[in-house]
Amino acid sequence: MKLRPFCLSFVCALISSITPAQQSTAPRPVGVDDLFGIREVHDPQISPDGQFIAYTVNSTSLKDDKGETQIWMVPTAGGAAIPLTADDEVSDHPRWSPDGKFLAFLSARKNADADGDDGKTQVYLLNRQGGEAQRLTDTMQDVEDFAWSPDGKRLVLILRDPSPEELEAASAKGKGDDGPDKTVPAKKSKAQRPWVIDRLYFKEDNVGYLDRRRTHLYVFDVASKSMKQVSSGDYDDNEPAWSPDGKLLAFASNRSKPDPDATYAVNIWVVTSDNPDKGATPAQVTTGLAGDHQPAWSPDGKWIAFSTQLDPKLFEYGTKHIAVVRATGGQAKVLTLALDRNAVNPHFAPDAKSIFFIVDDDGTQNVVQVNVADNKVTRPIPGRLTVDSFTVSTGGTIAAAISTTDRPYELYATPAGKLTRLTSVNDEWLAKFKLSPGGYVSFKSKDGTSVHGYMYKPLDYVPGRKYPTIVRPHGGPVWAYYSEFQDLAQLLAANGYVVLFPNPRGSSGYGQQFCKAIFADWGNKDYEDDMAMVDYAIAQGIADPDKLGVGGWSYGGISTDFIIGHTNRFKAAISGAGAAEFTSLWGHDQYVRDYIAELGLPWEHREVWDRVAPFWRVQNVHTPTMFVGGNIDWNVPVLGGEQMYESLKALGRDTLLIVYPDEYHEFKTPSHIKDLNERYLAWYAHYVKADGTPARPEAKDVKAGD
């Protein structure tokens, strides 16, 4: 079961910062509001001539209570960066035209010249020399993805089949997919239609109920602004990639029979870019059963590289590998079997002799290069750091978004073979605050297994002194803590805590055997590994055994529920977006396929379902616990927190339930994130430190129904 990790550092870093004055005072500990001064660089794109790099800067305005994404550009050789889009809107996914003269991007901005514009996400075009961005597409649906054709004359768009409401709106405007606008009176609004469900996989976080509207490929002509559909059917088609000659499009799609919803068999397919029958019969390139993604063409168009999983029974527990296959299909060659680490995002080198990719390894994410001929692996961007995304120029220069434990994501490049930082979006912010550097540690679990994790010491740390300590089990369970900036760790360290981020069994980055060790056995070996890190910190004389707290999000919330059901050594717990009794989530969350693969059908394997459910240990829980969730989270619905809260309340235990309105699994609203961080600090201060702080910020509580 893959519960997508919720990382407050990711969400809180979507921020908008007012440029601070030059600081003359000594750095101070970071506070809750200070976290909203961080910015993050992502999605670097090198121009075709290799001279410039476009990238996005994510920020959040606490004042306006919203997130923002702005596109910037900087010379590859270094120099002043310039903003290409305004800082009060969301513009992302920048992509250079093949001639390097234009930059296309996605935005849902409203246009003064668009009558009745409803803010749909469209492709915009910006001249590199300057000027205002011009809207290029005008589809009735959101454009979910796009890519330039090699000649720059066309785009491939990913569009979802239009909804009845979108069709009605287009009809009211007198516009079809490529027809002209006409003056037609708009229809009066109607009550929302019911959801008609007939799929096995019918619900998804951030979307809600799923119907038969599918995503498909459309080819858009830039000059005429006409568009034609080139893939179709009751399947979702994504991750499009043009062949070098522009005649073919590769894409990823699960077209397995009889029901794609019941399998993980996403494969790579190819369709002609001028297909006259909406791509009714695409050519199948790969035949795997566990999932093939991210197709990338070789420069000569003969091969396609992709990320693949080999064992469908393991789904997310199985290692992702880099493989190549002839563009016409056939037996694929897996290049990274000996590496035994998750490998994603393949890019062919300019000479086609090797492939670059991101590897998840030992609490880091590096850029790795594998030779196609002999599978030899080298690391162009190694080290204890985290590469979020990267691109490679035709000259071999790599541009990457990189973070470390002491610096949020910035843009780096290798213009002369040496990794060089090109942006400084957080320099002024970092100069203001004292941070905990975070250290990578190794320790032994109960059965002798070597386990690793990150430890952040409090800012006032003095050797020989013991400190209150918070352990944060991570989400996933197939995920890990990496060498990247963690704002929650910094906030807790600034408030006097040792912070433990363990990577127990089930974590990625340590090999498939380590990862699958908790398959259908949650809360056992991973529990022992989490506790081993706590014991390690105590043995080092750093953690105070009488002042321990625990808390995590997603699978980290589930782990928290397991932990407090196994032991009463913790003075306080905070379980975020967790689950407790899984049969009640069957058919309610988005994991039906994963449940079947890992646990079996609940009426056939009830003993397995009960064994992995922390709910059945609730009578053992005496730890004061706060449960947190979003009311529209379809990933791990708040039902799990409600069940645990109600049970502890019925048992007369000290507990609290906080439900945030209009939040999915990953919180987006800055004021909610601020409120949650304040509640974290208050709950732990009251129960772990026992310093007299109220357990909750009373003035900020809202009565039910308000």
Q: Which amino acid is at 111?
A: N
d(CA 279, CA 293): 19
| Whether residue 509 is found in the same domain as residue 582 | yes
Comparing 352-356, 563-567, 700-704, which segment has the lowest mean pLDDT?
700-704
d(CA 311, CA 191): 46
Burial of 146 (0-12, 13-18, 19+ CB in 10 A): buried
**Average pLDDT, stretch 350-378?**
97
- How confident is the model over 581-600, as pLDDT tens digits? 999 999 999 999 999 999 99
Arithmetic mean of pLDDT over the chain: 91
Please tell me whether residue 703 adopts helix, strand or coil conformation.
coil
d(CA 510, CA 480): 10
Burial of 487 (0-12, 13-18, 19+ CB in 10 A): buried
Counting the structural domains of the chain, the total is 2
| Whether residue 379 is found in the same domain as residue 436 | no
406 found inside a domain: no
Longest dimension (CA), the chain: 78
d(CA 595, CA 400): 36
| Whether residue 434 is found in the same domain as residue 353 | no
- How confident is the model over 502-555, as pLDDT tens digits? 999 999 999 999 999 999 999 999 999 999 999 999 999 999 999 999 999 999
Q: What is the DSSP string of 419-470?
A: -EE---TTHHHHHHEE----EEEEEE-TTS-EEEEEEE--TT--TT--EEEE
Determine the pLDDT at residue 206.
87
Look at residues 361, 384, 407 and tell me which one is the last residue of a structural domain: 384
| Whether residue 440 is found in the same domain as residue 312 | no
283 found inside a domain: yes
Check whether 4 has a pLDDT greater than 70: no
The pLDDT confidence band at residue 705, using thresholds 50, 70 and 90, is: very low
538 found inside a domain: yes
- How confident is the model over 432-455, as pLDDT tens digits? 999 999 999 999 999 999 999 999
d(CA 293, CA 309): 9
| Whether residue 336 is found in the same domain as residue 478 | no
Which domain CATH number covers 657?
3.40.50.1820
| Whether residue 380 is found in the same domain as residue 435 | no
Buried b (16+ CB within 10 A) or exposed e, 508-523: bbbbbebbbbbbbbbb
Determine the pLDDT at residue 66.
92
Buried b (16+ CB within 10 A) or exposed e, 639-650: bbbebbbebbee
Question: Which range marks the domain in which residue 670 is found?
Answer: 430-688
55 neighbors 71 (Cβ within 8 angstroms):
yes
414 neighbors 397 (Cβ within 8 angstroms):
yes
468 neighbors 549 (Cβ within 8 angstroms):
yes
Percent of the chain with pLDDT over 90: 83
- How confident is the model over 278-335, as pLDDT tens digits? 888 999 999 999 999 999 999 999 999 999 999 999 999 999 999 999 999 999 999 9
| Whether residue 368 is found in the same domain as residue 478 | no
| Whether residue 466 is found in the same domain as residue 555 | yes
Task: Give all strands (DSSP E) within 577-619, no chain letters.
Answer: none
496 neighbors 689 (Cβ within 8 angstroms):
yes
The HSE-up count of residue 616 (CA atoms within 13 Å, CB side) is 13
219 found inside a domain: no
581 found inside a domain: yes
Which domain CATH number covers 281?
2.120.10.30
| Whether residue 444 is found in the same domain as residue 309 | no
Look at residues 354, 384, 414 and tell me which one is the last residue of a structural domain: 384
105 found inside a domain: no
11 found inside a domain: no
- How confident is the model over 161-199, as pLDDT tens digits? 998 888 888 888 765 544 434 444 444 456 788 888 899
The helix (run of H) or strand (run of E) holding residue 411 is strand 407-413
**Average pLDDT, stretch 26-36?**
95
62 found inside a domain: no
Which residue in this structure is represented by tokens 């992709």?
306
359 neighbors 378 (Cβ within 8 angstroms):
no
Structure-token pair, residue 695: 């357990």
| Whether residue 529 is found in the same domain as residue 460 | yes
Angle at 103 between CA 99 and CA 106, to 5 degrees: 140
Which residue in this structure is represented by tokens 């945030």?
660
Rg of the chain's alpha carbons, rounded to an integer? Answer: 26
The HSE-up count of residue 500 (CA atoms within 13 Å, CB side) is 32
d(CA 686, CA 665): 27
| Whether residue 515 is found in the same domain as residue 573 | yes
Check whether 702 has a pLDDT greater than 90: no
DSSP state of 161: P
| Whether residue 583 is found in the same domain as residue 445 | yes
Cβ partners under 8 Å of residue 416, min gap 6 = none
The pLDDT confidence band at residue 111, using thresholds 50, 70 and 90, is: low
Q: Which amino acid is at 533?
A: M
Burial of 277 (0-12, 13-18, 19+ CB in 10 A): exposed
